Amino acid sequence: MSKRPWWLGAVVYQIYPRSFQDTDANGVGDLPGIIERLDYVAGLGVDAIWVSPFFRSPMADFGYDIADFRDVDPLFGTLADFDRLVDAAHRRGLKVVIDQVLSHSSDRHPWFLESRESRDNPRADWYVWADARDDGSPPNNWLSIFGGVAWQWEPRRRQYYLHNFLTAQPDLNFHNPAVRAAMLDNLRFWLDRGVDGFRLDSINFCFHDAQLRDNPPKPEAERVGRGFSPDNPYAFQYHWYNNTQPENVAFLGELRALMDAYPDIATLGEISAEDSLATMAEYTGPGRLHMAYSFELLTEEFSARQVRETVAALEAKMTRGWPCWAISNHDVRRVASRWGSDETAERIAPVLTAMACSLRGSVCVYQGEELGLTEAEIPFELLQDPYGIAFWPNFKGRDGCRTPMPWSDGDHAGFSRTTPWLPVPDAHRARSVSRQDREADSPLQRFRRFLAWRRRHPALVRGAARMLDAPEPVVAIERSHDGCTLRAWFNTGGEPRRFASAEAANLRVLDDHGLVSGSVRDGHVELPPFAVVFGQA
């Protein structure tokens, strides 16, 4: 196993720096805080950390609006702190993946400040500018993910600029080769500092349709899924022209050539497209991204059928690439709340993690997932997320999954010595790391035991996969590698399940994975609530 690329089947632990550990008592987490907690992270049994943005930024979108792609924001520390983080992680056997936002910058970035001044300056064509229609309205009907039109008027140029996200996040013009070269140079800067890979934010948004054609309307019945609720006007269109353009594939080839000039680097693309599974397949493989993930398993709704059909559809399309799965991250409600409840969170969380880690692919695990944390309820007056503020009360934004990591049940949950940027719920302090460390069967302890067990089974790390039929709410998976076949059934519900299964015949049950275990008898699978069965053929 040591000869495989490190990212193949890796478990990547996502750290949201603002909310991980505060060391300078300003209520916001920082890079020294991540260093302070690396022993904990390494002890989970993960392979890598993914560090969300820490670059210089006005923080309109909490770091995804970057004003300097090559520096650390003072809120999080210094470049020297980052270098110490990379070294400390490597000494613990952890790879370091960092976010990179290629499609846009902050409106405070020097490039944009220059570009907006006139139509003939050296960077005039570095962003997406367009003339108004004859009546002064925007050049087309494109919409912003964060609500409203995707165009902002700039009086200096008497033109509109494109922003697929906030108005403070103008889109870069990737049709300009100088822009592409500059962004690749920014990646090279971090590669030279020793990073092991990049998580590429909204990677299918780099190019726009050069003809600026209108997006067609979407029927009301189809305005669901992909993370956009039907009360967001973004859901009213097919987004055929403002992202996922053919030119993007050629750029991925340029990006991959840079990665291949360094040893053992991984790229992980975030995909949100009209057919995200098809785009994942198209964007991954030789000469393209190493792997990609989408929002298909980050939905509010859950069913075993949904998981089975999503995985089967991707397996059919992705013949050359490698998938990555995520069931939680910093953009969606915590999975223990989405697919469980406050009452079932501690029991369902280890089962869902084990299920995700048994799919073919790599896995991203969001901080706190190992604790079974639920979504925090943040009152309107304490909201920070502009997305939530704009769509309140139908959508409460992303603050509920971004609250500080609960290290203890003491003041501010051991996260900070002062009031943190978001409040820590009492329910999270009750599920703190210090408490779960003392409980033999806590979600945290089950998480650690399962990941250690997974490492001993190559079929789960890099084997072929097949989804099996099973009654709701049971997810069933088969993994095979080098003559070894494992089959697994995951009961994601609170009621016991017993059912016949041809795949259950002649299996040797493996019950040393640290989770609540079911059994196989006489061709039947028997699962207590929130239990799993692993069997070897």
pLDDT at 1: 41
pLDDT at 228: 63
Q: Which residues contact 380 (CB under 8 A, 6 or more apart)?
A: 389, 392, 393
d(CA 267, CA 200): 7
Query: Over the chain (537 residues), what is each successive 10-residue block's mean pLDDT?
Result: 83 98 98 98 98 98 98 98 98 98 98 98 98 98 95 98 98 98 98 98 98 97 71 93 98 98 97 96 98 94 94 93 96 96 96 98 98 97 94 93 97 97 97 98 98 97 96 98 97 97 94 96 96 97
pLDDT at 497: 98
pLDDT at 223: 87
d(CA 287, CA 185): 19
352-370 per-residue burial string, b: 16 or more CB within 10 A, e: under 16: bbbbbbbbbbbbbbbbbbb
Q: If 0-12 CB within 10 Å is exposed, 13-18 middle and 19+ buried, where does residue 522 land? A: exposed
pLDDT at 524: 96
What is the Cα 102 distance to its own chain's centre? 16
Q: What does the DSSP 8-state code read for residue 213?
A: P
Residue 201 a catalytic site member = yes
Q: Which domains, and CATH codes, for the chain?
A: 11-103+176-452 (3.20.20.80), 463-536 (2.60.40.1180)
Is residue 370 a contact partner of residue 407, using CB atoms and an 8 Å limit? no
d(CA 500, CA 468): 12
**For 75-101, what is each residue's pLDDT tens digit?**
999 999 999 999 999 999 999 999 999
Residue 270 a catalytic site member = yes
pLDDT at 226: 56
Pick the catalytic residue from 171, 201, 282, 478. 201
One-letter-per-residue 3-state SS of 405-423? CCCCCCHHHHCCCCCCCCC
d(CA 391, CA 395): 5
pLDDT at 3: 73
Pick the catalytic residue from 22, 171, 270, 478. 270
One-letter-per-residue 3-state SS of 196-207? CEEEEECHHHCC
Is residue 7 a contact partner of residue 48, using CB atoms and an 8 Å limit? yes
